[in-house]
């Protein structure tokens, strides 16, 4: 297949996620890096910046200029919430499909950007989570809860994390909550001899947050029923684990029109 | 809800699975036990036979007579492969919906029985596996393999089990194999210093069978990708774990026409 | 080896644990059942009572009489806290080694009974937990905490259990606490967005109690350090799982003098 | 505590493990980096080489010179099997305690080096594995096998690993084998319908090797007994996970005389 490669521009290229995106695009034979934009770093070769060999694409500072000159098909943006909506608008106006790994969109933003995508005949994606494994875990958890409504979530993160429970565990809890009927689990007369032992309460079930050094991000959703348990567990070892999801998104966004919110909706 | 309870007849009522079915039907408020058939034991109260209080239904030996006299809505049959097809035919002719936990049906049998069900305007189900958790595990494994094609299966059973790998693990492997493209995993130059260490080969991936005392039936399907792993694990602790699935089947079979093969197809 | 079998009397023989002990003794070729004592049931054959074939030992009601007449070497007692100390005293006076699976001993009781054992030249054991696996888990957890002090405990029990955390998890926490220096784990600025998510606090670390149907008793102790985690997990599937430990105790108690408190101390 | 810091020299400082050692020494307040030796790289600051700030120690090429000039207390050596024995000899002669993370010593080497250590009144350590978690896992596995002799090992590594089973799993199997009596596990009539499913045979039990992308090094040792299972699992996420063990070794080697083989022997 001598199919043309997809032309990819990366915004936020010098950030922790942006660097991984640059590396991934350079390594994927179906993708071609055509622009790398970063506020602070500029002038250096994008390949060199991420520790691989030079690729001939210089890091620049002006996103609009980069999108126009590079004739990019897709923009992958891991910048900041403040610039998310405006960068998306900019990309769509130049018919560059946005793949946004940034949060900070209001429902109004999403509605407007979806309309804009359709007017321009292109697809777009906003995804707070690009980890295929994590998304499958959440999807399966929601499916299982219909049949095995008794469930608890145990999530593990590094011991310096500030908030508990994790965003992913709350998202999972919401999805479970939507599919099962009202159910307050456990013995109504249950008593904690050490306060908090039973975890955080969420709509009838419990979330437990473990914090230990050496752990990056792990979650286990455990379902219990008469004579059996079902566990769905995702272990994320590092930031690079999100890249296969970004690669899928870049390819998929070429195939539809309109703006999709949530990576799970572009999975078949 | 003053809805009428579903009238259930049980064949093979004195067997290990049959006894569990009798107990489950007696305990479920939406179900009513109207007949219990067993070759060997007869004359005793079905409740007593399974160690609970008397229920007023005597165990009898003649299936056809029992179906006719009891006006059963559903027959749950955990007898033997030899009687499976003829029992199913008998039930359908009397407009009793068959829920068969027996193997031994040929594709021709299934086609014929499906036609017979439709002619009689009733539903039916043949299910080699009634464990909701095990079925969800297989379903999720097949879904995950589309996105994370690198996979291995580890299954655990009691140490006296004769065959390896288990039927469930082979069924899981088949489902995975159907959804992913050709993929021979691992390093092509890999060498075993102890023969068999890498497990059993199935269409590009591996199945490992662990046999230990104390284990009833467990299986873990592990998917690996860049920076992450996803695990789906089912632990079955005893035979009673299949009953929630039988209960779902009995209720569901009242709602459709035709014969369904495989419990997974009646799950939404 | 034509060695004489150890003569075993069982008190509380008709209880849930007592029945398992009777079965275990009848099945172990090194042990001989010589008496079975129960308050309520009497006159029936002990084998029949537990659902195996008759063994020629009738269940009786008087413990002292049974000990004297049977010339028992060892008494296994799973009665109640109220009778525990007096039964132990009774056994020792008749030079029958007590193996007590009952709680309810005061430190004074233990001191006195130890003295009594020594005076009579026999061994004895009081053990709140006979599960070899659970005891190994606790022992390993305490050993690991010396080298990997960052730890959390997650314990799983059936959803009708009243108290949280479990006795075993608290015992494990105590053992960990004794071997490691002062250490308040986690980020001091950590915040719970759902109260209780971080679990129950015990001397610097956390215990999480999961309650789900289908689970009997499970515990996982997780240690985290730079770039690695170590997990020690015990899954108990049913009451019978305690019997191998009782068998070890019955044999071991023949080999020493004095009263030992805690099964872990008779493991090599 | 105004205690003097331990003066550490690192050989093989520019290698993958050596760089981690340099970083660890620079970060540990009880240790002081006094020399960094590497064949290829020289002249650059050791801190800079590993991506942290300059530390004032230049990388040099001559080990003997470095040891003499730096007045090192301890040499940490992650070079190659060929130079292992001679580097150790060199260090001992200059009364620098060797901590060797290299393989390639013969039993004769070890005997000779032990004698040499004692003559010079210093300690030394040769350790093929510095992962505290992995060593604890092996130690616990050997302890558990005495009480729960039915066991299987499942080890997980990246999918490009060439050999199966892993060195750690074979070492674990040896340790288990030494403590338990002869025991051929499983049903003697067991049959594999897919060859290799039951794993690699080692003295009566089985080792299973899983190979998946995303995995660095994991191992689970599973013990099964009547009604229970005990699992000991170690997950290693990256090379840095070995450093806490190296730090312990450097401090411990200051406290004894003679050469120890195996990190486990310096753990209390």
pLDDT for D239 equals 79
Total Cβ atoms within 10 A of residue B268: 6
β strands within B78-118, DSSP E: 97-100
pLDDT for D2 equals 54
Q: Is D268 on the interface with C (CB under 8 A)?
A: yes
Closest CA to A85 of A71, A69, A105, A65: A105
Please, what sign has the CA dihedral across residues C183, C187, C188, C191?
negative
Distances (CA, A) of C233 to A12, C129, C136, C226, C244: 43, 16, 10, 21, 19
Residue A268 pLDDT > 80:
no
A181 backbone dihedrals φ, ψ, rounded to 5°: -70, 180
Measured CA to CA, the distance from residue C4 to residue C23 in angstroms comes to 20
Is the CATH number of domain B6-126+240-266 3.40.50.720?
Answer: yes
> What contacts B193, CB < 8 A, 6 or more positions away?
D163, D164, D165, D170
**Domain regions of chain D by residue span:** 6-126+240-266, 132-237
Residue D144 makes CB contacts below 8 A (sequence gap 6+) with C136, C140, D151, D221, D223, D230, D232
Closest CA to D230 of C155, C231, C233: C233
Looking at residue D240, its pLDDT comes to 80
Q: Is D245 on the interface with A (CB under 8 A)?
A: no
Distance to chain C for A222, nearest Cα, Å? 9
**Chain C partners within 8 Å of A206 (Cβ):** 210-211
Classify domain A132-236 at the CATH topology level: Dihydrodipicolinate Reductase; domain 2 (3.30.360)
- pLDDT for B236 equals 93
The gap from C-alpha B174 to its chain's centroid, in whole angstroms, comes to 17
User: Which of A230, A241, A251 should one mutate to test binding to chain B, selecting the residue with the greatest count of B CBs within 10 A?
Assistant: A230
In this complex, do D229 and C223 lie within 8 Å of one another by their Cβ atoms? no
Which is nearest to B138 in space by CA: B107, B183, B181, B168? B168
How many CB atoms sit inside 10 A of residue D188's CB?
6
Q: What is the mean pLDDT of residues A233-254?
A: 92
Whether pLDDT at D42 is above 80 = no
- Give, for all 268 residues of chain C, the pLDDT tens digit: 457 899 999 999 999 899 999 999 999 999 999 999 998 877 899 998 888 889 999 999 999 999 999 999 999 999 988 899 999 999 999 999 999 998 789 999 999 999 999 999 999 999 988 999 999 999 999 999 999 999 999 999 999 999 999 999 999 999 999 999 889 999 999 999 999 999 999 999 999 999 999 999 999 999 999 899 999 999 999 877 889 899 999 999 999 999 999 998 998 6
Question: pLDDT tens, A49-87?
Answer: 888 889 999 999 999 999 999 999 999 999 988 899 999
Which among B194, B200, B202 has CB closest to D192?
B200
Q: Which of B152, B187, B222 sits opposite D160 (nearest CB)?
A: B187
Q: Which residue has the tokens 């006094």?
A: D34
Model ipTM value: 0.81
**Residue B16: per-residue pLDDT:** 87
- The residue whose two tokens read 């599919």 is A179
Q: Which chains touch A (3 or more CB pairs under 8 A)?
A: B, C, D
Q: What is the pLDDT of residue C2?
A: 54
Inter-chain CB proximity A241 and B234 less than 8 Å: no
**A241 contact residues in B (CB cutoff 8 A):** 225-228
* B226 vs A137, A234, A240: nearest CB: A240
pLDDT at B1: 46
Secondary structure letter of residue D71 according to DSSP: T
Catalytic residue among A118, A161, A171, A251: A161
Q: What is the pLDDT of residue B57?
A: 97
Closest Cα partner for C133 from C218, C209, C27, C247?
C218
How does DSSP assign B199-249, residue by residue?
-EEETTEEEEEEE-TT--EEEEEEEEETTEEEEEEEEE-SGGGGHHHHHHH
Nearest to C153 by CA among C136, C139, C170: C170
Does position A1 have pLDDT exceeding 70, yes or no? Answer: no
Band of pLDDT at residue B81, cut at 50, 70 and 90: confident
Reply yes or no on whether the pLDDT at B41 is more than 80.
Answer: no
**Model confidence pLDDT, tens digit, residues B226-238:** 899 999 999 999 8
**Which of residues 212 through 231 in chain C touch A, CB cutoff 8 A?**
212-215, 222-229
Phi, psi of C162 (to 5 degrees): -85, -40
Q: pLDDT (tens digit, 9 = 90+) per residue, D249-264? A: 999 999 999 999 999 8
Helix or strand run (H / E) with residue D81: helix D81-93
Q: How far apart (Å, rounded) are the C-alpha atoms in residues D184 and D60?
A: 55
Q: How many whole angstroms separate alpha carbon D152 and alpha carbon D222?
A: 5
D-chain residues within 8 Å CB-CB of A241?
214
CA A127, CA A101: separation in Å to the nearest integer? 5
Chain C residue with the nearest C-alpha to that of D267: C147
The residue that leads in pLDDT, D268 or C55, is C55
Would the pLDDT of D184 be above 60? yes
Number of H helices, E strands in chain D: 8, 14
Catalytic choice (C95, C150, C161, C251):
C161
* C-beta atoms of C146 and D237 within 8 A: no
State the CB neighbour count (10 A cutoff) for residue A74. Answer: 27
Interior angle at CA A84, CA A82 and CA A86, nearest 5: 95
Tokens found for residue A95 = 């018919």
Phi first, then psi: give them for residue D138, nearest 5 degrees: -65, -45
Residues 164-183 of chain A with CB under 8 A from chain C are 164-165, 170
Statement: residue A108 has pLDDT above 50: yes
D237 Cβ under 8 Å from any chain A Cβ? yes
Which of C151, C185, C208, C216 is the best residue to mutate to test the A interface, defined by the most A CB atoms within 10 Å of its own CB? Answer: C208
Annotated binding site of B for (S)-2,3,4,5-tetrahydrodipicolinate: 167-168
Q: What is the rounded CA–CA span in Å between residue C46 and residue C36? A: 7
C vs D, Cβ pairs < 8 A, gives: 118
- What integer best gives the mean pLDDT of chain D? 94
How far does C78 lie from chain B, in Å, by closest CA? 23
Q: Provide CATH code, domain C132-237.
A: 3.30.360.10
Chain B neighbours, 3+ Cβ pairs < 8 A: A, C, D
Which of A5-9, B152-156, C16-20, C33-37 shows the lowest per-residue confidence on average (mean pLDDT)? C16-20
The span from the CA of A229 to the CA of A221, in Å, is 10
CB contact under 8 A, C241 and B216: no
Give the range among B190-204, B236-250, D6-20 with minimum mean pLDDT.
Answer: B236-250
């Amino acid at each position: 297949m001598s199919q043309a490669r997809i032309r990819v521009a990366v915004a936020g290229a010098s950030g922790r996620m942006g660097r991984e995106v640059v590396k991934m695009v350079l390594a994927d034979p179906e993708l071609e890096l055509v622009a790398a934009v970063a506020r602070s770093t500029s002038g250096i070769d994008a390949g060199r910046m991420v520790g691989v060999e030079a690729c001939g694409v210089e890091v620049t500072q002006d996103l609009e200029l980069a999108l126009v000159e590079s004739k990019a098909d897709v923009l992958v943006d891991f910048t900041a919430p403040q610039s998310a909506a405006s960068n998306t608008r900019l990309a769509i106006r130049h018919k560059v499909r946005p793949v946004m790994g940034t949060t900070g969109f209001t429902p109004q933003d999403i509605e407007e950007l979806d309309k804009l995508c359709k007017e321009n005949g292109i697809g777009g994606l906003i995804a707070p989570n690009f980890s295929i494994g994590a998304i499958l875990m959440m999807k399966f958890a929601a499916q299982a809860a219909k049949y095995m409504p008794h469930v608890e979530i145990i999530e593990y993160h590094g011991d310096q994390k500030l908030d508990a429970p994790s965003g992913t565990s709350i998202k999972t809890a919401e999805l479970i909550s939507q599919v099962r009927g009202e159910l307050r689990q456990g013995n109504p007369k249950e008593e904690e001899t050490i306060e908090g032992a039973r975890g955080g309460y969420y709509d009838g079930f419990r979330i437990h947050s473990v914090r230990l050094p050496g752990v990056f991000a792990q979650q286990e959703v455990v379902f219990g029923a008469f004579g059996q348990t079902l566990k769905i567990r995702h272990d994320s070892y590092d930031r690079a684990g999100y890249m296969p999801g970004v690669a899928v998104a870049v390819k998929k966004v070429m195939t539809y029109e309109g703006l999709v919110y949530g990576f799970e909706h572009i999975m078949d």
